Amino acid sequence: MKPVQLFYLKSCPYCQRALSYIDQLKKQAAYKDVDIEMIEESEEPELADSYDYFYVPTFYVGGVKEHEGAASFEEVEAVFKKIID
């Protein structure tokens, strides 16, 4: 399984929606073991600044940016598929 980071903000409604999708996906057997490093960018600004993105939520899988900005359920699921490949 590839390492994954999620950059988010607690106050971001798009991030909250993505977190909800993550919770839904982790209830599925295929995704239950997915481990995501959650990085709240306002709490870890130096780490966040070391990555190339502008919008949250942003997913990196294996060091590659896979999604940036507001995400649908299907887009978050596509990220999960890349994690387990």
d(CA 29, CA 31): 5
pLDDT in tens, 17-62: 999 999 999 999 999 999 999 999 999 999 999 999 999 999 999 9
Size (the chain), residues: 85
Look at residue 85 in the predicted model and tell me its pLDDT.
78
Report the chain's C-alpha Rg in angstroms: 12
Q: Is the pLDDT of residue 75 over 90?
A: yes
Q: Is the pLDDT of residue 84 over 90?
A: no
| Global pTM exceeds 0.85 | yes
